Structure 1
């Protein structure tokens, strides 16, 4: 049946991406060959390239799955009434942890996402489509938090949360690529500064004053002190 074939293809694609990531995590992207990945995933090299055009796209596919799991948790918490600040804390803690633990892979992910082209500029389903899809997955991780902030009256009603989310994603990736962070706390502090800077124009002024309210995405928690439990 067609559905069974699709399920088999998806399972094989997931297996390849996971096997590739495990190898990349140990020795880095450049040290792993296509034959290494094919052997670890129990597929032929022909099948390997049928599902992924390059090692970078295997890495992106696995990264997307991880981001998707964090997004599902963030949505669950938002729907149960958690404060957007607390959910932002969860999201940034997990992403910062990934950035620090797999710092040797950040360059490949960051360059692919930041160098993405608009849909339609590459072959359908090809490398450009994968890069764009990864970027949109990251945007979809951030946007629900911003939408919840807008619903609570913390952002202007006309604030474009999709656009703001894309700006934050790019800013955070640039931070990981060029920030020289030594640990998760330094990443979180850097991201907090970028968040505050980018969000100022979207804040809803206080009624009757026109003044912008203070915005602390970490709530009452000092940045970096409460994230270890989220690893």
Structure 2
């Protein structure tokens, strides 16, 4: 192994350690109260080294969100390959995401706020790290191609609307809570959206 490859592997290991330590601290003490200095100290690196890997604290959450999106995409692709109907797959992914968000309730709001960050560069970075609309587009593509969705709405537009709705409903639930679980709230929202996006004879009951 040459020297450059060794350095790259060392950097990857250091980043992975910082990430795992940071997520553990967020879960244990809360995102808002955990500082970059706390993370650096627990990771046995300097504060400057932390910022070399993560330019701001929320960037750690983007890695977490990206991992969640990768798992959802892998699940969707596997289920579609197995011949599971697209709507069933969409509801499965919807439920899995709701379960993850409910379990990590304190991590979701700061992660979601990054998508709406007033700094356009940070908002763009968050949007690219959290491609929920792309996962939804992947799932709904067979329905769109077979003409089971409204022809006056593009697949991208429908997918973006569903993803944006998830974001807002989950944020409201995380902040205020309701009598329903997040999974129940999400299913209600998804049912309403699909009634508008699908032709009447394909809408789930």
The reply to whether TM is greater than 0.5 is yes
Q: Give aligned pairs, total.
A: 201
Q: Which residue of 2 aligns with 1:114?
A: 116
Within the candidate set 55, 58, 61, 1:59 is matched to 61
Partner SS state of residue 104, structure 1: coil
- Gaps of at least 5 residues in structure 1 are 205-211, 220-231
Query: TM-score normalised to the size of structure 1?
Result: 0.74
Structure 2 CA distance for partners of 1:6 and 1:202, relative to 1, 3 Å: farther
Corresponding residue for 2:125? 130
TM alignment of 1:64-75, pairs within 5 A: 64-75=66-77
Aligned-partner Cα distance in 2 for 1:157–1:10? 46
Cα contact 2:112–2:167 (8 A) shared by 1? yes
Q: Which residue of 2 aligns with 1:189?
A: 184
Following superposition, the deviation at residue 157 of structure 1 comes to: 5.1
The reply on whether 1:148 has 2:142 as its aligned counterpart is yes
Q: Which runs of 5 or more residues in structure 2 are unaligned?
A: none
TM-score, scaled to structure 2 = 0.83
Q: Shift of residue 3 of structure 1?
A: 5.3
2:203 aligned residue:
215
**Root-mean-square deviation (Å):** 2.6
The structure-2 alpha-carbon separation of the partners of 1:54 and 1:187, relative to structure 1 and needing over 3 Å to count, comes to same
Tell me which residue corresponds to 2:105: 103
